[in-house]
Amino acid sequence: MASDTTPAVDVDARLTGVDGGEFRVLVTAGYFSPGWRAGGPVRSISDVLATASADVATTLLTRDRDLGASGPYAGLSGTWVRRGRTDVFYLGVRHPAHWRRLWRALRAVRFDLLYVNSVWSAFSILPIVAARLGLLRADRILVAPRGEFGAAALGLHRIRKRMFLAGWRWMLRGPRVLWHATTPLESADIRRVLPRARIGVVAIASGPEPRCAPAEPPAVDHARLVFIGRISPMKNVDLLLAALAHVRARVRLDIYGPVEDPRYWQRCVQLRAALPDPSVVSYRGELRPEQVGETFSRYDAFVLPTRGENFGNAIAESLAACCPVLCSDRTPWTAVLRDGGGQVLTELTPVALAELVTRVAAASPEQRQAARVAAGDAYRRWRAGRLRVSVLDQARQAIGRPAIRVPPQGRGA
């Protein structure tokens, strides 16, 4: 476990003994540190907690295991742990004793805010129902859909999601419910689904610290491409593999990430096998978060033909490591990529993506090195303009002044 993690021995005393002037927040998320396979939301939630003001008292409820893991984290299941300034409970959902321990700790506490991350997760649905029924005392509810209301995301399992929203929509209405949008674009997505939604927070993460300028790459006769992320239909890895069939220049592609959808991955394997030379594509397994930046730094471009990103933590990681990004225009990063961070894909077709890949492959080693430097510079300019303000502080302001809406500003964390 990380060095900022300590056992939270007397959680009951800490929760009930919070100073009256503090702002109490219960955060729920399906996955959290030390897990990492769920991708960007884990990092985003960690950033939200780390940037909260000192007088914001945070408690977090999460699963006792990582995404796709068959077993729990060693020594954490059913326990309270202090991570930084947050008390975290790692719940084994099939263990009644865990639920009893959690209930004993929460039942006597009144929270100013319940902050849920996801619309579909049981770790959002159950707390919202409990708050609505008065079983969980929370004055307001802040919902972060984390990109789930984007058109592409809603298109996956569309009928199932439409049926769920038809029955669930009324729970998400009313003055007690606020919404956290990562960007103004997500604000529009939320209002398209829920026209009367009150957007209490519009805040984008600040991204990782930039790495130093890249060293001269080794002399090779091919372009080094990489994909790092969850292997799922939203990331569009199959489109990347289909595009390689149209690239005649010399390239190599390494794929890293957890296989979230085995059936989808099988399609990717078939596309790889159909390439003129399947050996140009390699699956390298999973990366831990601390390995991502250094891995990006070894490549000429990160290729992400995504169907949509709420923020795009992997894009920030790539640019911070001076690795240019070839990405669809369905992310908040289009302006940064056009400022020198990479190239923007406006048509999600194999031929259009092949054209971008060919540009990278046709460049000289010196031109690729210049592109790496330019990507790092574009990222530094973007990051210098970020205002590091916590989501929870913005929510507190919105709650304290119910007649005032926080305007879309696209800045903050």
Residue 401 has pLDDT above 50, yes or no: no
Predicted local confidence at residue 211, as pLDDT: 81
What is the extent of the structural domain holding 262? Answer: 223-384
CATH number of domain containing 93: 3.40.50.2000
Regarding whether 237 and 182 lie in a shared domain, the answer is no
What tens digit of pLDDT does each residue of 104-155 get? 999 889 999 999 999 999 999 999 999 989 999 999 999 999 888 888 888 8
Residue 94 has pLDDT above 50, yes or no: yes
What tens digit of pLDDT does each residue of 53-89 get? 999 999 999 999 999 899 999 999 999 999 999 999 9
User: How many separate domains does the chain show?
Assistant: 2
Does 54 reside within a domain?
Answer: yes
Residue 407 has pLDDT above 70, yes or no: no
When mean pLDDT is compared across 160-169, 181-190, 264-273, the lowest value belongs to 160-169
Regarding whether 240 and 199 lie in a shared domain, the answer is no
Residue 158 has pLDDT above 90, yes or no: no
Regarding whether 282 and 165 lie in a shared domain, the answer is no
Does 352 reside within a domain?
Answer: yes
Regarding whether 155 and 235 lie in a shared domain, the answer is no
Which H or E run contains 122? helix 122-133
Give dist(CA 179, CA 236) in Å, integer. 28
Regarding whether 317 and 240 lie in a shared domain, the answer is yes
Predicted local confidence at residue 315, as pLDDT: 96
Q: Which long-range contacts (C-beta less than 8 Å, at least 24 apart) are formed by 129-134?
A: 129/171, 132/171
* Mean pLDDT taken over the chain: 88
Does 406 reside within a domain?
Answer: no
How far is CA 172 from each of CA 29, 100, 128, 132, 398, rounded to the nearest angstrom? 17, 27, 9, 10, 17
406 band by pLDDT with thresholds 50, 70 and 90: very low
Residue 244 has pLDDT above 70, yes or no: yes
Regarding whether 350 and 240 lie in a shared domain, the answer is yes
Overall average pLDDT of the 223-235 stretch: 94
4 band by pLDDT with thresholds 50, 70 and 90: low
Residues facing 62 on adjacent strands: 90
Regarding whether 228 and 184 lie in a shared domain, the answer is no
What tens digit of pLDDT does each residue of 338-371 get? 999 999 999 999 999 999 999 999 999 889 999 9
Please give the structure tokens belonging to residue 146: 């984390």
Residues 6+ apart with CB under 8 A from 5: 81, 82, 83
Does 409 reside within a domain?
Answer: no
Selection from 187-191, 235-239, 258-262, 396-400 with the highest mean pLDDT: 235-239
Predicted local confidence at residue 15, as pLDDT: 66
- Report helix angle 262-273 to 237-244, nearest 10: 0
Predicted local confidence at residue 116, as pLDDT: 96
Task: Considering only residues 15 and 241, tell me which one the structure prediction assigns the higher pLDDT.
Answer: 241
Does 212 reside within a domain?
Answer: no
Regarding whether 263 and 148 lie in a shared domain, the answer is no
What tens digit of pLDDT does each residue of 272-314 get? 999 999 999 999 999 998 999 999 999 999 999 999 988 899 9
Overall average pLDDT of the 241-260 stretch: 95
172 band by pLDDT with thresholds 50, 70 and 90: confident
Predicted local confidence at residue 17, as pLDDT: 58
Regarding whether 239 and 374 lie in a shared domain, the answer is yes
Does 410 reside within a domain?
Answer: no
Q: pTM of this prediction?
A: 0.82
How far is CA 103 from each of CA 76, 99, 144, rounded to the nearest angstrom? 17, 6, 24
Residue 411 has pLDDT above 60, yes or no: no
When mean pLDDT is compared across 201-205, 376-380, 398-402, the lowest value belongs to 398-402
Regarding whether 324 and 310 lie in a shared domain, the answer is yes
Does 213 reside within a domain?
Answer: no
Regarding whether 233 and 200 lie in a shared domain, the answer is no
Predicted local confidence at residue 203, as pLDDT: 74
Does 392 reside within a domain?
Answer: yes
Regarding whether 194 and 321 lie in a shared domain, the answer is no
State whether the Cα torsion 46-62-313-217 is positive or negative: positive
